[in-house]
Amino acid sequence: MEKKINRILYGGDYNPNQWSREIWQEDMRIFRDAHINSATINVFSWAKLQPSEETYDFSELDEIVEMLSRENYDIVLATSTGAVPAWMAKKYPEVERTDYEGRHHKFGQRHNACPNSPVFQKYSAALAGKLAERYGSNPHIKCWHINNEYGGECYCENCEKAFRIWLRKKYGTLEAVNQAWNTEFWGHTFYDWEEIVVPNDLSEGLWDGRTAFAGISIDYKRFNSDSMLENYKLERDAIRRYDREAVITTNLMGTYKGLDYFKWAKEMDVISWDNYPAYDTQPGFTAMQHDLMRGLKDAPFMLMEQTPSQQNWQKYNSLKRPGQMRAQSYQTIAHGADTIQFFQLRRSVGACEKFHGAVISHAGTENTRVFREVQQLGSELENLGDTLLGSRIQAEVGIVFDWDNYWALEYTSGPSVDLTYVNQIYTYYKYFYDRNIPVSMIPFDADFRKYKLIVAPVLYMVKEGMAEALEQFVKEGGILVITYMSGIVNQSDNVYTGGYPGPLRKMAGVWVEEIDALAPEQSNSVAFEDGTTAGCNLVCDLMHLEGAKSLGKYAEDFYAGMPAVTENSYGNGMVYYIGTCLEEKGKDKLFADICKKAQVKELAGEGSDLEITCRETESHRFYFALNFGKKERKLPKLFRGQKDLLTGSVLTENAVLRKFGVCIVQIEK
């Protein structure tokens, strides 16, 4: 395979079209100094490549590709379809989107083409095909980057028509649609497909982004995600006609809500994503996003973008502190990345991203703190060579992440507006992160048997096959943790009648009769059987035991004495039901017991304040230790006497990691 990537790609978005030719030469010199070996080009050049409907002009891109090829770069070639040209918007207003408020947009911004515009579909695929025809045989082009950060939604007439077709395909008959959406409620029965309109602010929109018929809105989310995925596939297939080797991807955005990334992953050769933590983002939250991105294909991924120093679109764009970018880069690799790419290589002079960090700042020289840090990292990654490439992460714990649930939970009116999906998932992820217990973020249809412990927080929507698969997992000895707001609706957002948690009730051995919502100033507490008491908040399930054993009861309010947390033996396994959002102390206590029962282990054995991960090949384990804490920390025993791959020195008994310190050791299996 000529196009196999056999080094850690190090580089990022490069837009030399904004600069004169002399600067290009200067860039090449400076990047060489930083050990940069890759550039992502052509991300927003559609207007230049196609100045009118009939004409294409690749002359400038030819020069850029030639220059980078001469320098032996591994090129990530984007298709430029993330921003439509102005002439196209003027001639074909349909390529612009209609927003949730029903306003049709004029030309401007980016990431805003209507996915169901036949004009957009035709010309985006045509451009991708032309690029691949022209550059596909260049061995330096190792990766195709389609569009850019797909996202957003459109509510135009073309989308409305396409939605009806999508519905016909999914449901077959209008009766099935009416039933799925429970349209008898408020007398919304449809007698003709043409009566169905897009669920936006002008139709079913309620307050807070909620809508009157969550069933319609969830289907619209699925439809929108599928529509954009079709756009992706059109371009991908156009590229594949000319380039059979290079991997094809598009840059995703972590826990971004709008697209069902597990579905997208099936169409992508490799996952790539853009990581933009804010100054106050917890390292554990970033780790979860990396794990989710790795989980999409259960494989190494690309870090397509991060800023070397500073953001521009956050509220407070703090500088990354000395060493922070390096530590974050290794954290990314520690969770499964095989590339480190920046946005961007040289800072723009105009428009809204001129304050966005870059390898080369406005000063235009290599004499900057940021450059020196980029250079140091570049040299270290170059030394690592291909040692880590392709290595995998093994986890005994799986946390279920599901976009249908994400949408459904956040569309519900009641019981609490504070019940947000990603935050809920994170509160459970964090337990494992804090203890260096590796976690895989898994889809609802994963092979559960690979795990000892599965946590499926707020599994509000139980889709077809899901309960059976979980039941099978437990029967065979698996340990399952489920929580409040679970087993409530089916995939059409209609309630499983007969008592919550519906299809999970039997295996959980509990019946949830009512759900109380607690306002931020309210709380309750749970008294555990062993005497521990822990606060709880957000929601409280009022439940009855149906075979399960109570592990802790509510201490206050009219439901004091009712079970809040339960355990049920089922088959050879066990199901835990957590009926309320436990504060950390309660969660820690409970999960300590659960992990013991499931026999899942912490990576470093004796516990550690460092972040520790492990990537494996067939013959070796690579342990990473990272310090995101404020203070110096001692390395766990596991690392002592081993050689640090980054410095080459042997780690002694007293070896410590400073704030933002990193070390990697390689241990034979």
**Residues near ligand GLA (CB under 6 A):** 148-149, 251, 274, 276, 305, 313, 343, 353, 356
- Give the H or E element holding residue 118: helix 118-135
Site for Zn ion in 140-159 (CB under 5 A): 154, 156, 158-159
Contact criterion met (CB below 8 Å) for 563 and 543: yes
Indicate which of ligand GLA, Zn ion, none lies near residue 154 (CB less than 5 to 8 Å, by partner kind).
Zn ion
Q: Give Rg (Cα) of the chain.
A: 26
Residue 345 CB, nearest distance to ligand GLA (Å)? 12
Token pair of 313 as six digits = 């679109």
Indicate which of ligand GLA, Zn ion, none lies near residue 250 (CB less than 5 to 8 Å, by partner kind).
none
Identify which of residues 121 and 310 has a Cβ nearer to Zn ion in the complex.
121
Rounded CA-CA distance 226/230 in Å is 6
Indicate which of Zn ion, ligand GLA, none lies near residue 200 (CB less than 5 to 8 Å, by partner kind).
none
Indicate which of Zn ion, ligand GLA, none lies near residue 305 (CB less than 5 to 8 Å, by partner kind).
ligand GLA
Indicate which of Zn ion, ligand GLA, none lies near residue 289 (CB less than 5 to 8 Å, by partner kind).
none
In the stretch 487-506, what mask flags binding to Zn ion with x, by CB under 5 A? Answer: --------------------
Of residues 139, 182, 253, the one with CA closest to residue 497: 182
Rounded CA-CA distance 425/405 in Å is 11
DSSP assignments along 30-57, one per residue: HHHHTT--EEEE-TT-HHHH-SSSS---
Residues that contact Zn ion, how many (by CB under 5 A)? 6
Residue 343 CB, nearest distance to ligand GLA (Å)? 5
Catalytic, out of 96, 305, 373, 567: 305
Q: Tell me, what DSSP letter sits at residue 278?
A: -
Sheet of 9-13: strand order equals 247-249, 141-145, 74-78, 38-41, 9-13, 337-342, 301-305, 272-274, 251-252
Helix segments in 441-550, DSSP class H? 466-475, 505-508
Identify which of residues 159 and 370 has a Cβ nearer to Zn ion in the complex.
159
Residue 231 CB, nearest distance to ligand GLA (Å)? 16
Indicate which of ligand GLA, Zn ion, none lies near residue 452 (CB less than 5 to 8 Å, by partner kind).
none
Rounded CA-CA distance 652/615 in Å is 22
Indicate which of ligand GLA, Zn ion, none lies near residue 639 (CB less than 5 to 8 Å, by partner kind).
none
Contact criterion met (CB below 8 Å) for 252 and 283: no
Rounded CA-CA distance 445/441 in Å is 12
Rounded CA-CA distance 664/385 in Å is 14
Of residues 560, 581, 577, the one with CA closest to residue 568: 577
DSSP E strand boundaries for 130-222 = 141-145
Catalytic, out of 96, 149, 380, 611: 149
Of residues 297, 600, 288, the one with CA closest to residue 426: 288
Tokens 């407070």 correspond to 316
Residue 318 CB, nearest distance to ligand GLA (Å)? 14
- Give the H or E element holding residue 453: strand 453-456
Residue 83 CB, nearest distance to Zn ion (Å)? 16
Indicate which of Zn ion, ligand GLA, none lies near residue 159 (CB less than 5 to 8 Å, by partner kind).
Zn ion
DSSP assignments along 585-608, one per residue: HHHHHHHHHHHHHHT---TTSS--
Identify which of residues 148 and 224 has a Cβ nearer to ligand GLA in the complex.
148
Is 315 exposed, middle or buried, given 0-12, 13-18 or 19+ CB atoms closer than 10 A? exposed
Identify which of residues 304 and 377 has a Cβ nearer to ligand GLA in the complex.
304
Helix segments in 498-583, DSSP class H? 505-508
Indicate which of Zn ion, ligand GLA, none lies near residue 114 (CB less than 5 to 8 Å, by partner kind).
Zn ion
Rounded CA-CA distance 218/222 in Å is 6
Rounded CA-CA distance 586/523 in Å is 14
Indicate which of Zn ion, ligand GLA, none lies near residue 190 (CB less than 5 to 8 Å, by partner kind).
none
Identify which of residues 27 and 305 has a Cβ nearer to ligand GLA in the complex.
305
Identify which of residues 43 and 114 has a Cβ nearer to ligand GLA in the complex.
43
Reply yes or no: is the peptide bond before residue 85 cis, omega within 30 of 0. Answer: no
Residue 285 CB, nearest distance to ligand GLA (Å)? 17
Indicate which of Zn ion, ligand GLA, none lies near residue 148 (CB less than 5 to 8 Å, by partner kind).
ligand GLA
Residue 565 CB, nearest distance to ligand GLA (Å)? 41
Residue 45 CB, nearest distance to ligand GLA (Å)? 12
Alpha carbon distances (Å) from 169 to 164, 176, 259, 561:
9, 11, 20, 50
Contact criterion met (CB below 8 Å) for 387 and 7: no
Identify which of residues 89 and 154 has a Cβ nearer to Zn ion in the complex.
154
Rounded CA-CA distance 37/33 in Å is 10
Annotation marks residue 567 as catalytic: no
Residue 366 CB, nearest distance to ligand GLA (Å)? 22
Identify which of residues 328 and 483 has a Cβ nearer to ligand GLA in the complex.
328
In the stretch 105-124, what mask flags binding to Zn ion with x, by CB under 5 A? Answer: ---------x-x--------
Tokens 């954009």 correspond to 228
Count of residues making up the chain: 669
Residue 276 CB, nearest distance to ligand GLA (Å)? 6
Residue 15 CB, nearest distance to ligand GLA (Å)? 9
Distant-in-sequence, close-in-space partners of 430: CB < 8 Å, separation ≥ 6: 282, 284, 288
CB-closest chain residue to ligand GLA = 274
Rounded CA-CA distance 323/632 in Å is 14
Site for Zn ion in 55-114 (CB under 5 A): 114
Alpha carbon distances (Å) from 538 to 508, 519, 521, 583, 585:
21, 7, 10, 10, 16
Annotation marks residue 546 as catalytic: no
- What residues are annotated to the active site? 149, 305
For Zn ion, the binding residues (CB under 5 A) are 114, 116, 154, 156, 158-159
